[in-house]
Amino acid sequence: MSGEGIIESIAVMHDRSNGLGGGFAAYGIYPEYKDYYAFHIFYDSVFSKKECEEFLERHFDIINLSKIPTRKIKAITDEPLIWRYFVTPLPTKLSDSQLDEREFTAKCVFHVNTRIDGAYVFSSGKNMGAFKAVGFPEDVGRFYRLEEYEGYCFTAHGRYPTNTPGWWGGAHPFALLDYSVVHNGEISSYDANRRAIEMYGYKCTLQTDTEVITYIVDYLHRKKGLKFTEIASVIAAPFWQTIERMMPEERELHEYLRVIFSAQLITGPFSILVGFDGGLMALNDRLKLRSMVVGEKNDTVYIASEEAAIRIIEQDLDTVWSPKGGQPVIVCVDGGEV
Amino acid sequence: MALNFLYPDYEVARNYDRCIACRACERQCANGVHKYLSDSGKVVCDDAKCVNCHRCVSLCPTRALKIVKSGNTYKENENWSGKTINEIYRQADSGGVLLSSMGNPENYPVYFDKILLNASQVTNPSIDPLREPMETKVFLGAKPQRVERDNDGRIKNNLAPQLALSMPVMFSAMSYGSISYNAHESLARAAGELGILYNTGEGGLHEDFYRYGKNTVVQVASGRFGVHPDYLNSGAAIEIKMGQGAKPGIGGHLPGVKIVGDVSRTRMIPEGSDAISPAPHHDIYSIEDLRQLVYSLKEATDYKKPVIVKIAAVHNVAVIASGIARSGADIIAIDGFRGGTGAAPTRIRDHVGIPVELALAATDKRLRDEGIRDNVSIVVGGSIRSSADIIKAVALGADCVYIATAALVALGCHLCRSCHAGRCNWGIATQVPELVKRLNPEIGYKRLVNLLTAWQHEIKEMMGGMGINSIESLKGNRLMLRGVGLNEKELEILGIKHAGE
């Protein structure tokens, strides 16, 4: 499918954002470069671009680089330089680092974002990309010519920022490697989550809930090897009173997850969409303090904060339902694995 | 010379219009303050013997008694206070070390009182604990480094032994000997009913209390009193006491007069002999020696019990804690300089150690900076006075708190700070049978349960106000805290912002 539908859908949610940030994640859009990491980078100036490119050249083989195609529209102004690179780690650098390829790449992304002034990698996965800007999401979609991309999964977000000023890097989705998160809500566990995840080598630079959720997903999935169902049981853990009623084996598992990953529990209202290679997970906080609706039509799944955002692009749905708090909805492309 | 004459700090004020000369005060006072004069039919008192424990005040049926501060004063002097002068008189008279009990009462900053909590407004809903689950359950113990799976892909349970607590509170160590049998029974039963733990202190475990084993932390201290294999295996966890906040750097001394009957048997020492705990453990002169004791205890208990290492909050506490976190210990307990005691040299109690708030913040940060925070849980005490202190401690980074003074106050203690005299009129810090029986464990344990139930309600209300419905999400959540009236260095150490930031 193309990016047209997601723009149309998020436009209905116009009043849920205030024009201070909008964005999209699109999966399956770079089939010709699917074995390379696609870095999308904002630069404040040509100087930061030069410094960043020198860093990239020292660590990666750059297969292709170009400006990300955009179109001028009135609603989107003050854009930074926006570039895209398809890269693969230099074999010598990679073996010297004694890291696996994904960890090496993630470390380089953190290096750019924390050490190179004026450069910000906002997308770094394979065969996927994040596109974001300050503006209403439907305008951001047109700005990035999203309708010209073909992919298997799209997510979108319109911001109503309360904690941090609107800037291009601060818009959702947040992405690291092929994980992307869009998030509606404000989590009360932020600083507990932040201080815990920073112990494992992540740097939270943006004071934003969504950033820390992205790192938690990356940590639990990539570093700890949890499945997405298990990740849901960590970040929106069942209440102890629920766990106590479970069968012994299930109970032991959930108790184990809560004890070990107590600092990755997320409280406060959230509904999140987690994109990953081959699929998508939607999840509400365990009290369901945010709305979320799922619609299905044949083999296509739609998930939105409001049913209206689904109906605008698919009126004839097979089913429409609301997941319970803490109940993950995991959708995979055929043959995909969670 | 009358130089050592000390005018009493307090006076017993008796309203003779109300006094019916029932002589209840006379019977209640183990210090012999009150005396009935049959000639005049009046009760009189000797203020000099009064420790201000309020036993007589509380039991006077006509409210004829109150204790007031003595108006007697030396010539005013900002440098030489009346207290200082009196202490010199006492030492010039006795040649001895000044002794005190309970926590440091001096005027040092209480950081908990300079920290304020957050609440949700608009952007994030507060949560009503009456309508929604509000979780205060915590687990203490080391967390495994990696998740392991069996051949079928199921997660293996590779958890080290954990302590499960219904709320992040435990009763701190107080030995049988320093406090009474009935006080111990109250603590043990309350711990059982509440789903938390109490701590034997260094006095062994009375055979009657083995049945509360799953709610018991058994302590191993430098005197090793009462330590034997059954004792170690009887509790839910073992605590190695390296130090105590009230008296860092020194040991303990339970006088022979308290080593009577069951106390003697439980401590495994002869009746009437002084129980002297050395200042250091004489098998621990360095961190690697501690590691050996940790593993000796684990060997003795088949690796089924978490080991707690308790230290006093001293200047290098964060570095010491880091060493402990690498020693095989599962839990570190940090005892602040305001922690209580049954007896301590006054100068040490009042001048050694640092506030637990700063010790906690520094330790939590240090362990995180080194990436070893998951190796251990952190328990803090000395002194936690209310549910608000607990919330603040958890938000600073504690997994759990220890309370002891607050528990004794719930049992009737009026903080007269005279435990070392052994004549506690409330039946708590005494072994005198007729005093001990004044504390009814049936009532005592219910009062402890009441106190912590009330605190749990308050914790839930405050958490709900912050939009947090599980205590795990409060742990180390320092953005929920703001300082008031603190300087930049203090804020930096506490890792919190100032109010208004």
The ipTM assigned to this model is 0.92
C-alpha to C-alpha distance for B42 and B35, rounded to whole angstroms: 8
Chain A residue nearest residue B374, CA to CA: A260
- Secondary structure letter of residue B343 according to DSSP: S
**Residue B35 resides in a domain:** yes
Same domain for B150 and B71: no
Q: Number of A to B CB contacts under 8 A, please give it.
A: 99
* CATH number of the CATH domain containing B17: 3.30.70.20
**Residue B123 resides in a domain:** no
Q: What DSSP letter does each residue of B413-437 carry, written as one string? A: ------GGGS--TTSSS---HHHHT
Q: Which of A222, A231, A178 has the alpha carbon at shortest distance from A202? A: A222
B386–chain A Cβ distance below 8 A for any pair: no
C-alpha to C-alpha distance for A120 and A41, rounded to whole angstroms: 5
Contact B467 A162 (CB under 8 A): no
| Total domains, chain B | 2
Residue A44 has pLDDT above 60, yes or no: yes
pLDDT-based confidence at A338, cuts 50/70/90?
Answer: low
Domain limit, last residue, from B72, B96, B120: B96
pLDDT (tens digit per residue) in A291-324: 999 999 999 999 999 999 999 999 999 999 999 9
* CATH number of the CATH domain containing B352: 3.20.20.70
How confident is the model at residue B370, as a pLDDT?
97
Lowest mean pLDDT among A134-143, A202-211, B269-278: A202-211
Same domain for B145 and B87: no
Residue B3 has pLDDT above 60, yes or no: no
Structural domain range at position B59: 10-96
Contacting residues for B495 by C-beta, under 8 A, at least 6 apart: B361, B365, B396, B478
Chain A residue nearest residue B119, CA to CA: A188
Same domain for B26 and B162: no
Contacting residues for B401 by C-beta, under 8 A, at least 6 apart: B168, B169, B170, B379, B380, B381, B384, B389, B390, B393, B394
- Secondary structure letter of residue A186 according to DSSP: -
Residues of A with CB under 8 A from a CB of B: 162-163, 185-193, 195-196, 198-200, 224-226, 230, 237, 239-241, 252-253, 256-260, 262-263, 265-269, 286-287, 289
**In whole angstroms, how far apart are CA B211 and each of A2, A316, B205, B328, B407?**
69, 66, 11, 28, 21
Helix (H, G, I), strand (E, B) or coil at A67: strand
- For residue A237, list chain B residues with Cβ-Cβ distance below 8 A: 470
How confident is the model at residue A180, as a pLDDT?
97
Chain B residue nearest residue A260, CA to CA: B143
C-alpha to C-alpha distance for A266 and A276, rounded to whole angstroms: 20
Q: Using an 8 Å Cβ cutoff, are A181 and A157 in contact?
A: no
Average pLDDT of the segment spanning B114-124: 93
B479–chain A Cβ distance below 8 A for any pair: yes
Contacting residues for A69 by C-beta, under 8 A, at least 6 apart: A144, A145, A148
Helix (H, G, I), strand (E, B) or coil at B353: coil
Distance of CA B374 to the CA centre of its chain: 25
- Choosing among B117, B366, B378, B473, which should be mutated to test the A contact, i.e. which has the most A CBs within 10 A? B473
**Residue B130 resides in a domain:** no
Q: Which of A185, A179, A212, A180 has the alpha carbon at shortest distance from A196? A: A212
**Residue B108 resides in a domain:** no
**Residue B446 resides in a domain:** yes
Helix (H, G, I), strand (E, B) or coil at A227: coil
Q: Using an 8 Å Cβ cutoff, are B194 and B449 in contact?
A: yes
Residue B42 has pLDDT above 70, yes or no: yes
Q: Which of B175, B285, B288 has the alpha carbon at shortest distance from B239? A: B175
Q: Using an 8 Å Cβ cutoff, are B281 and B309 in contact?
A: no
Same domain for B209 and B342: yes
Domain limit, last residue, from B63, B96, B129: B96
Residues B289-315, buried b or exposed e (16+ Cβ, 10 A)? ebbebbeebbeebeeebbbbbbbbbbe
C-alpha to C-alpha distance for B255 and B253, rounded to whole angstroms: 6
**In whole angstroms, how far apart are CA B14 and each of A327, B29, B36, B67, B70?**
68, 15, 13, 9, 14
Contact B124 A269 (CB under 8 A): yes
**Residue B351 resides in a domain:** yes
- For residue B133, list chain A residues with Cβ-Cβ distance below 8 A: 239-241
**Residue B125 resides in a domain:** no
The closest CB to that of B472, out of A262, A268, A286, belongs to: A262
**Two structure tokens written together for A246:** 């479970």
C-alpha to C-alpha distance for B138 and A259, rounded to whole angstroms: 8
Domain limit, last residue, from B96, B128, B160: B96
Same domain for B241 and B311: yes
Residue A335 has pLDDT above 70, yes or no: no
pTM: 0.95
Residue B365 has pLDDT above 90, yes or no: yes
Residue A164 has pLDDT above 80, yes or no: no
Residue A107 has pLDDT above 70, yes or no: yes
Per the DSSP assignment, residues forming a β-bridge with B470 are B135
- Choosing among B477, B478, B480, which should be mutated to test the A contact, i.e. which has the most A CBs within 10 A? B477
How confident is the model at residue B1, as a pLDDT?
45
How confident is the model at residue B491, as a pLDDT?
98
Q: Which bin fits A335, alpha (ψ -120 to 50), beta or left (φ > 0)?
A: left
Query: How far away is chain A from the Cα of B481, in angstroms, using its nearest Cα?
Result: 11
User: Cβ–Cβ contacts within 10 Å for residue A48, how many?
Assistant: 20
C-alpha to C-alpha distance for B283 and B400, rounded to whole angstroms: 29
Average pLDDT for chain B: 95
Query: How far away is chain B from the Cα of A4, in angstroms, using its nearest Cα?
Result: 31
The closest CB to that of A269, out of B125, B132, B157, belongs to: B125
Tokens 């089939």 belong to residue? A31
Contact B467 A263 (CB under 8 A): no
User: Cβ–Cβ contacts within 10 Å for residue B70, how many?
Assistant: 13
**Residue B51 resides in a domain:** yes
C-alpha to C-alpha distance for B388 and B392, rounded to whole angstroms: 6
Contact A263 B157 (CB under 8 A): no
Contact A262 B162 (CB under 8 A): no
Residue A19 has pLDDT above 90, yes or no: no
Q: Using an 8 Å Cβ cutoff, are A154 and A6 in contact?
A: yes
Per the DSSP assignment, residues forming a β-bridge with B217 are B199, B237
Same domain for B418 and B363: yes
Query: How far away is chain B from the Cα of A267, in angstroms, using its nearest Cα?
Result: 6
**In whole angstroms, how far apart are CA A269 and each of A115, A307, A326?**
32, 19, 11
Same domain for B184 and B84: no
Same domain for B200 and B87: no
Helix (H, G, I), strand (E, B) or coil at B437: coil
Same domain for B145 and B237: yes
The closest CB to that of B466, out of A188, A239, A240, belongs to: A188
Same domain for B392 and B248: yes
Same domain for B471 and B326: yes
Same domain for B151 and B23: no
C-alpha to C-alpha distance for B125 and B256, rounded to whole angstroms: 59
